Amino acid sequence: MHIVIAPDSFKESLSAPHVAQAIQVGMASVLPNAQFSLLPMADGGEGFAQSFLERLGGERFHCEVTGPDFRPVTASFIINREHRIAVLDVASASGLPLIPLNERNPRHTTSLGTGELIRTALDHDIDEIIIGLGGSATNDAGAGILTALGAKLLDGTGNPILPTGEGLGALMTVDLGALDPRLNTVTLTAACDVDNPLCGPHGATTVFGPQKGAQEEDIRTLEQYLHRFASICHLQLGQSISHFSGAGAAGGIGAALGGLLGARLEPGVELLLSRTHAHHLLAEADWVITGEGRIDGQTQHGKVPAAIARIAHSYHTPVIVLAGSVGDDCESLYQQGIKAIFPIQAGPCALSDALMDSKKNLMRTSENIARMIQLAGHS
């Protein structure tokens, strides 16, 4: 029996490689003769660059950049010289875990550090920069990235705005004339973990603002400012940045990259699988086990479990999902090739305990899944 284990990370608990290892340990205790292929995944969020490094190889570079709350952080990117690519995560420079829980508010965060990371990657002899979107603390529509790369975002007096979600409220002029000329020599590819537009009821602020610390009043204000930014870009640059799929990724960074910098936006899981030539593993498997920290209605919009299930379904390979928690609106996932969804918690508990016990709970649940497979006659 061949079992492919292809989970995302369980955010703020276990990385994708550690999740995969815990699942293998649990299943192997019941199915010792099974062949396991570990395929840690990322949909564009935290761990995306690491997944490329593990599959393709390369070299990791570290540099100090501006964090999402303007305090310095050490971020990293991957250079693969054979393929002449750089791969980086927005989460590395502008990620939500970089800000203490009680200080999170996307009105005041910036993607400036991600732009600085892109600028540093341009110092290397590469043809393409792949940027994993997801896990951001920001809602600035990529204003920080644009600023770091030479764009001028000005207020009514001709002074630079603060490149934050709040700062967009003062924006009057967007000038891309001084962008780093090296951007013309590389291809930008953005890996999206969601397909949301920039604005509206399914947009960046409304859907993702609350998990970044936005209160109801913040959401109304930030939504207004994103509309303002989109309108100015359309009027002054002739660019429509609001409605395409993925524009709302990473607090609107997708809008800046795809709408203003010419990046291709691609689903993160499919991009990772195609570039690392891993599709054949899903085709050859008898079972695929995937998972993420929380499964809910948003999972179907580009997250790892749904993306893995759609691809595996095309090969008639059954998929089982493990999750730290299971939310509402999961029923549609069963139409995308997922056969069963298992929450890993043994019972009600505090979030801190759930995060601490993820490894133990994954191993126990995976052992029970293996017993189910064994009883189904697939051993």
Domain ranges of the chain: 2-39+278-375, 48-269
pLDDT, one tens digit per residue, over 32-83 is 999 999 999 887 777 889 889 988 899 999 999 999 999 999 999 999 999 9
Mean pLDDT of 262-270: 91
CATH architecture for segment(s) 2-39+278-375: 3-Layer(aba) Sandwich (3.40)
CB 308 within 8 A of CB 25: no
Q: What angle do CA 213, 216, 218 make, to 5 degrees?
A: 65
Question: Quick one: 131 exposed, middle or buried, by C-beta within 10 A (0-12, 13-18, 19+)?
Answer: buried
- How sure is the predictor about 302, in pLDDT bands with cuts at 50, 70 and 90? low
Beta bridge partners of 14: 10
Q: CA 367, CA 24: separation in Å to the nearest integer?
A: 9
Distance (Å) of CA 195 to CA 37, 94, 138, 302: 29, 20, 17, 6
Residue-wise DSSP of 104-162: --TTS---HHHHHHHHHHTTS--SEEEEE--SB---STTHHHHHHTT-EEE-TTSPBPP
Q: CA 297, CA 87: separation in Å to the nearest integer?
A: 29
Nearest Cα to 363, choosing from 322, 303, 319, 326?
Answer: 322
Q: CA 8, CA 285: separation in Å to the nearest integer?
A: 18
Q: What angle do CA 231, 232, 235 make, to 5 degrees?
A: 85
Amino acid at 127: D
Mean pLDDT of 188-213: 93
CB 250 within 8 A of CB 136: yes
Q: CA 364, CA 348: separation in Å to the nearest integer?
A: 16
Q: CA 91, CA 108: separation in Å to the nearest integer?
A: 16
Tokens of 73: 């952080």
Length of the chain: 379
pLDDT value for 357 = 81
pLDDT, one tens digit per residue, over 310-368 is 889 899 999 999 998 887 777 778 777 789 999 988 777 677 777 788 899 999 999 99
pLDDT value for 64 = 98
Q: How many whole angstroms from its chain centre is CA 224?
A: 24
Which CATH code fits 48-269? Answer: 3.90.1510.10
Work out the percent of the chain whose per-residue pLDDT is above 70. Answer: 98
- How sure is the predictor about 10, in pLDDT bands with cuts at 50, 70 and 90? confident
Phi then psi for 352, rounded to 5 degrees? -60, -40
Phi then psi for 321, rounded to 5 degrees? -115, 135
Amino acid at 172: M
Q: CA 210, CA 181: separation in Å to the nearest integer?
A: 37
Q: What does pTM read for this prediction?
A: 0.87
Nearest Cα to 303, choosing from 282, 321, 328, 278?
Answer: 321
